[in-house]
Structures are given as structure tokens and as C-alpha cells.
Amino acid sequence: MSLLLAQDPTLADFGRDPWWLVLGKIVFAFAFGLLATLLGVWFERRVVGYMQVRPGPNQVGPLGLLQTLADGLKMAFKEDILPKAADKVVYFFAPTISVICAVTALSVVPFGPMVSIAGHHTPLQVTDVPVAVLLLLACSSMGVYGIVLGGWASGSTYPLLGGLRSSAQMISYEVAMGLSIVAVFMTAGTMSTSGIVAAQGDATRLTIFGTEIPAPGWYAILLLPSFVIFFIATVGETNRAPFDLPEAESELVAGFMTEYSSLKFALFMLSEYVAMVTMSAVTTTLFLGGWRAPWPITLWEGANSGWWPMLWFFGKVIVLVFVFVWLRGTLPRLRYDQFMRFGWKVLLPINLVWILVLSGLRSIEDFAPRDRLIWTSAGAGVLLLAMLFWPSRKPQPKPTTQEQVDSRPYGSFPLPPMDLQVPPSPRITRVVAEREPANIVAGSDSREV
């Protein structure tokens, strides 16, 4: 354990690196965001294609790996159209705002422990500050400005509606996300990302029916309700399906980016995938132990030292990106009123109650930090899942076909009779009714008509 603790960076370890090492870290973080985005687009197409029983991209390069590069070149050579009613300055800079904010958040994400690079003992992290998590929230909030300004500067109706939707969406789910992180602050005792990862390093032992079993100290287990709500809010913040309402094709054509083309459209697309990768890295840092190896890999002494932790970190990020893609290929898009109701009337009250419960537990003097917290979190997590998936109303019995026919209003679209017998023609019936008196006088049968 002393070896593992020696690998954990602290705030005092930052600000001592030479300029070339800091520049190298910045380039690495930017390259990670860009490369992860390129592979993320390919990964999403392949996974969704597998889910929909179709091949996906498989022609450009081995396994279609160069398809994303080909798409980027195609967008670069497309015509760049500028609407006449657009605000040219804001229209030009709006896509860059979203990309810059998404990449900036990677500067405080720890990729690994202390390592030795060219004789310098340095953490695998660009920088860290005592309020690093607040910086992550600020970057997440500022990224929405690019979408809002892009929709407003286009000078068109549907982009403006998409931008307004995005601002309302950010306000609604930023509150739930912030409250979820409050539980992490209370448990870890710090807002530093490296400190939060270090706080999750101590393994605990869970007692079940008198038997102790090892359990990781990840906050995804200790703070299960916060983890579930945070990830749902993350999907809403990144405008990913089923929460992609700012760019709903069925309602807004393409939303805030309708009037964009060429490289500006590519930047908006890039910002979405960079934000998805960045929020996956943030979720890994706050709730999944960061760069620490999962159990049972931790049984190996060198699992959390050297360069190996980068492998565990990237593996966790890939798993979370897969969940993002899984949601897109599985769930339909929500209605806007359902989406807002879910954020304000479900996630927010549950989060407030959970924070109160957690505060009450921490105020108890004989509080066992791990054992009781695990059981409380498990119970709260089960209750949360039950509330999320419990049917909101009693299912009504399905009406029969005859009841559906009888319930149709007068003058609706005509339906054939259920006994499949053709009804008498209204014209023939009217003619018979008109001729019947004359036929009676003549002594003839009306059926001869």
C-alpha cells in the first residue's frame, strides 16, 4: 500500500515541470481528444451497425478505420455557404467555442499516476487546482454557448429554436449534475481531481452474511444514486440521444447547425464527440476510480504504478463511450416536455433527498464510512431505479377491434363491416324508396328494381 500511495500525485507536485514537459502534456491531451473523436465516430458506426445487423463502414481502410478521415476531407472540400441574414463574426466563431471548451476540460483530468519522463518525476496530468471539478462544470456550461450562438447567428427559425432548446436543456440538467458532484465532495473531502482519484484508492471489505469480500472504493458503488443521476445528466449535457432535442431532425431539420456547412459543420460534429469523450473521462475520474485498475487486476502489485494505469483509464473511457452509443441505438428520442419534466420533477428531487440522507449519515458520530455507506447507497440505488422505471400509470386493457370501430366519431374514415358483408348501396336504397309508392300502385314488386 505504501508503494501505491507514493504514486498518487498531490497539488504540490504540479507547477514544477519544465516548459517543454508542460507543452508535451498539452499536446498529448489535445491529441487524445482529437484521436478519440476520430475513432469514436468510427466506433459508433460500427457498433450501431452491429446492433442493426448491418456491416457499417468497412470499405475505406482496414475495417473502415479511414472512413472518418475520408469524411473530414469530404467536408473540407464542400462549399462553405454563409446565409445573408447571419451575423458573420458570431457565425464564424460559434463552432470553435464548443470545441475549445470540450478540449479544455481534459487539462485537469488525470490520465495516470506519477511517472518518470526524461529524469523528471511528474504526474500524467496537465495541471490540477483545488477547485478542478468546478472548472469541469464551467467548461461543460460554456460549451453550450457555441450551440446557442450558432443557432442565433444563423438568422433562421429552426436553428434559433435549437439554440433555445439547448440553453433550457443545459440549465435543467446542469443543476442535477452539480448536485451529484456535491456527494463526491462530501465523501472525498476535496475538489481536486487527483485528490478524488486518490480517495477512491483505498479498497474496502464488504460484510455479507458474516463473510468479508473485497470491494473497490469507487464512488460509483459508494454513491450509486449520484453516479446514475450524473451519467443521465451527462447524456443530456452532451446532446446525445435520446436527449438530442437541440438537433432533432424530425422537428428542427438539423437544429442549431442547419445553416452550417463545410468545416464549420465539421467543427460542430467534432465538438459533440469531443464532449462525449471528455465527459466519459470525467465520469471515470469522479466515480470509477480514475486510472486505478479494477478488481481483480489490483491483486497484481504493479497494476497501479508506472504506465499501466493509462491502459485502465482508456479502457473505462471506451466502456462509457460504448454506453453512449448503446443508448443511441436503443432508445427513441423523448418529447421535449417529457425531457424537461424528467429533469425537474424526477432527477432534481431524488438528488436533493439523497444529499440530505448522505449528510445525515455523515453527521452520525459512530458512522462507519464504508460499510454503512455501501448498504445505504445500494438501497437508495434500488429505490432510484424503481422510481425511474416504475410505470407512471396503470396500464389500460387493450380495446377490441369492434370497440375501436364503435368509438370512432361520426364522419370519420369509413371502415368495412366486421362480418365482411358488403352493405347496400345508398344510391340504390334511395332509388328504391322513391319508386316504391309507384310500384305498389302498379302492383309490382320493388325488388325488381
pLDDT of residue 415: 58
Quote the pTM value.
0.79
For the stretch 256-270, pLDDT in tens is: 888 888 888 888 888
379 conformational bin, left if phi > 0, alpha if psi -120 to 50, beta if neither: alpha
* Mean pLDDT value across residues 384-404: 68
Cell of 69: 478521415
pLDDT of residue 215: 57
Give the separation between CA 171 and CA 165, rounded to whole angstroms. 10
pLDDT of residue 411: 52
pLDDT of residue 386: 67
pLDDT of residue 231: 92
pLDDT of residue 445: 47
* Mean pLDDT value across residues 65-94: 86
pLDDT of residue 402: 72
Give the separation between CA 236 and CA 243, rounded to whole angstroms. 5
Q: Regarding beta strands 204-208 and 114-117, do their DSSP bridges make them parallel or antiparallel, or are they unpaired? A: unpaired
193 conformational bin, left if phi > 0, alpha if psi -120 to 50, beta if neither: alpha
Decide if pLDDT at 122 tops 80.
yes
| Radius of gyration (C-alpha) of the chain in whole angstroms | 30
Helices (H) and strands (E) in the chain, counts: 17, 4
pLDDT of residue 218: 86
**Helix intervals (H) in 200-307:** 219-222, 224-237, 249-252, 262-287
Give the separation between CA 172 and CA 347, rounded to whole angstroms. 10
Give the separation between CA 365 and CA 123, rounded to whole angstroms. 36
Cell of 258: 442547419
- Phi and psi at 205, nearest 5°, equal -125, 120
Give the separation between CA 6 and CA 189, rounded to whole angstroms. 20
Choose among 139, 144, 181, 184: nearest CA to 165: 144
* Mean pLDDT value across residues 429-442: 60
pLDDT of residue 446: 44
Of the chain, the percentage scoring pLDDT greater than 70 comes to 76
Domain locations along the chain: 2-389
Lowest mean pLDDT of 66-70, 295-299, 403-407, name the range. 403-407
Burial of 93 (0-12, 13-18, 19+ CB in 10 A): middle
Cell of 145: 454557448
Terminal-residue alpha carbon distance, the chain:
104
Confidence of residue 236 (pLDDT cuts 50, 70, 90): confident
For the stretch 301-349, pLDDT in tens is: 788 888 899 999 999 999 999 999 999 888 888 888 888 888 888 888 8
Choose among 358, 340, 338: nearest CA to 348: 340
Strand partners, 122: 115
- Phi and psi at 240, nearest 5°, equal -95, 155
Cβ-proximal residues to 38 (8 Å cutoff; 6+ apart), any chain:
68, 69, 72
Of the chain, the percentage scoring pLDDT greater than 90 comes to 14
Decide if pLDDT at 406 tops 50.
yes
* Three-state secondary-structure class, residue 366: coil
User: In sequence order, what DSSP letters do the residues of 27-81 get, joined into one string?
Assistant: HHHHHHHHHHHHHHHHHHHHHHHHHTTS--S-SSSGGGTTHHHHHHHHHHTS---
3-state helix, strand, coil in the chain (%, to 5): 65, 5, 30
pLDDT of residue 2: 36
CA 435 to chain CA mean position, Å: 74
Q: Regarding beta strands 204-208 and 120-123, do their DSSP bridges make them parallel or antiparallel, or are they unpaired? A: unpaired
**How much is the mean pLDDT over the chain?**
80
Torsion of CA 232, 236, 238, 243, to 10 degrees: 110
For the stretch 124-181, pLDDT in tens is: 999 898 999 988 888 888 888 888 888 888 888 888 888 888 888 888 888 889 889 9
* Mean pLDDT value across residues 2-8: 49
Alpha carbon distances (Å) from 279 to 109, 168, 219, 238, 283 = 10, 20, 16, 8, 6
